[in-house]
Structure 1
Amino acid sequence: MNTLTTHKSSQRRLLIALAITSVFMLIQLFGAYYANSLAVYADAGHLFVHNSSLFIALIASTLAIKFGRTFSDGYRRLELSGGLINGSLYLLISCWIIFQGADRLLGHEHHNEHEINTFVMSTTASLGFLFHAASAIVLYKGRKDSVNVYAVFLHTFFDILSTIVTFVTSVVIHATGWTAVDSLSSIFISIFVLYTGSKLLYRCVKGLFFNGVRLPALKKIEAALLTIDHIDNVHNLIVQCDNDQVVVGAHIVLKHECTIEKHDQVCRMQIERVLKEQFAVSMSVLQIEAYGCQHN
């Protein structure tokens, strides 16, 4: 399976998973309202940010397909920028839930009880388990082909854990009448969301501003390579960072006369020299083919 086909497959899986979790998020919001459960609200807030992360991953996958002909890691920067927004939402939502949970706990201390519909709460949590399980099944086969799919696949397990916590909370409230456990569960879920959001923010800020590597522009590299006498055209040009080192990949098509004289090795040496002297790139992956080769 080639890279473009893999991206298309990943895109389909992400789109299906987004549809499944978006439908349940709406159900969860209604369930939280009618159950009067802060724990369900916390789970819904967590799922909202999860869906926005899915949406960003879907956009990145779409752009990877669109720019497959001249593709760099620009779409990865889009993912990081989206992750920065999502991480900020994580922190805001989790802080709001923690504040509401603390306020309810304070109300319990002053005997200000909040009536909770445990039937609606447990039903919503059970539906959540089924929806998230379906999403996990969709993502399972594609988890090894795409970093995006793998990240969402792992996140889905945390969603499943969250619905289990909510279900157990509803059972405890129904059995004991201790409604304060709803606030405690919401705070527990929010602390986890806060931790996840902090890690996401750190990774995105580091990737965007402190990676220490500045990638050369695709157009400049392409223009420089086309000045070499042996080259007819350049496509599938890739610029990316691997272990803090810039790597260039390109599909090179030789001119007709160079093919006859077998100048491919000379061309390779000239390309490597241009990349090193003009762009300080010492690592490259080059595919050199004859004039008139077919490519997408």
Structure 2
Amino acid sequence: MDHGHDHSGHDHDHGHGGHNHAPEVGANNERVVLAGLVLTFGFMLAELVGGLLSGSLALIADAGHMFTDAAALALAWAGFRFGRRRRDDKRTFGYMRFEILAGLVNAVTLIALVGWIAWEAVQRLLSPEPVHAGPMLVIAVLGLVVNAGVYWLLSRGDTGHLNIRGAMVHVLGDLLGSVAAIVAAVVIWATGWTPVDPILSVLLSALVLRSAWVLLKASLNVLMEGTPGNVVVSELKAELVAKVPGLAGVDHVHVWSITSGQPSTTMEVQLAEGAEAPEVVRAVKRVLLEDFGIAHSTIEVDWGQGDPICVLDPRAGGHDHDHDHDHGKGEGQGAALPNPT
């Protein structure tokens, strides 16, 4: 359908109250992830050497985990870096979805790592190898300190963001790995029982696998344009009809996320007799923003009569539907209605 609106000349801002804090938040996320990357990669090398010298699977597994952490943090950093690029004619949402791809890779690498650790643990249980508890304990304690520092750094970022959450899951797994290595070193030093090393590695892997599965599902949900977790479409429709005067019905609702924390929606609304379309659309947008956190909405008015026209420009003809986009602009032909917030 040809809707006759050309928005190519508009600088659209979907932030709250006319302000867009996304670049500032993205830059902060980028800084904390980069700092975490440097610390993680540096200690990963030290832990790998320590694991090889001490013969500890727990340390080697944790070093392998830290390597995937470094890769995950590098992907997250690249995601934030590319995600701040401006949109163009080919990518109208810019590169924001790159962050979700990075989150998906993080989840897959975690699951693959768990499989490798489980295989190595079985081999160690079948054929025990000597473990030097002293070096293992020193490296494990240092690892605990480094991982705690990286986790604290990441917590300074936007913890609601899928990529930050993914990186924190990786680092939390490393932190628990350091704790497991400390326990294993103490047990081996006190009793000489080396099977504790692979056993604790498997228990740790089970915890990491659960977190990785949650991250994988969240990433796939965004990529499949699934409904965000805080939105139930049937409840959204019912709440709009209940709260918006002059709104008779809501159909053809689609809710998805462009990237983590940026939900969008399109829908078709029916007006009650005598209702004013601009007021109804503004009220719908207000409820979507305040109750569901949806700042980017496209509302189509179903006129239910022969030859509908654009409500914002009564001179226009030949429109099949009226689209009103919440782009923060209230001037000009085909412009959006003013943002009520």
TM-score by length of 1: 0.68
Structure 1 gaps of 5+ residues are: 108-112, 214-238, 251-266, 291-296
Q: 1:66 to 1:76 in 2, by over 3 A?
A: closer
The two structures, once aligned, show a CA RMSD in angstroms of 3.6
**1:47-86 Cα shifts (integer Å, max 9, x gaps):** 2222222122211211232227998655443223233333
Contact 1:173 1:179 in 2 (8 A): yes
Contact 2:88 2:94 in 1 (8 A): no
Query: What is the aligned counterpart of 1:11 among 30, 44, 47?
Result: 30
Give secondary structure in 1 for the equivalent of 2:38. helix
Deviation of residue 162 (structure 1)?
2.0
**1:88-133 Cα shifts (integer Å, max 9, x gaps):** 32222211211111122122xxxxx411111111111111111112
Q: 1:138 to 1:244 in 2, by over 3 A?
A: closer
Give secondary structure in 2 for the equivalent of 1:63. helix
CA distance in 1, matches of 2:24, 2:39: 23
Greater per-residue helix proportion: 1
1:29 aligns with 2:59: no
Counterparts of 1:73-222 in structure 2, within 5 Å, are 75-107=95-127, 113-143=128-158, 148-153=163-168, 155-209=170-224, 211=226
CA distance in 1, matches of 2:323, 2:101: 26
Deviation of residue 145 (structure 1)?
7.8
Q: 1:149 to 1:83 in 2, by over 3 A?
A: closer
CA distance in 1, matches of 2:157, 2:200: 33
Q: 1:92 to 1:141 in 2, by over 3 A?
A: closer
1:222 counterpart residue number: none
Q: Which amino acid aligns with 2:27?
A: K
Q: 1:27 to 1:210 in 2, by over 3 A?
A: same
Q: 1:45 to 1:76 in 2, by over 3 A?
A: farther
Query: What is the aligned counterpart of 2:265 among 245, 249, 255?
Result: 245
**1:146-203 Cα shifts (integer Å, max 9, x gaps):** 5543553454334322211110110001000000101101111222233333333333
TM-score by length of 2: 0.60
Give secondary structure in 1 for the equivalent of 2:97. helix
* Structure with the larger RCO, 1 or 2 (CA within 8 Å, 6+ apart): 1
Contact 1:63 1:75 in 2 (8 A): yes
Contact 1:143 1:153 in 2 (8 A): no
1:286 counterpart residue number: 328
CA distance in 1, matches of 2:211, 2:311: 46
Structure 2 gaps of 5+ residues are: 1-19, 229-256, 267-294, 299-309, 333-341
Q: 1:200 to 1:145 in 2, by over 3 A?
A: closer
Identical aligned pairs, as a percentage? Answer: 26
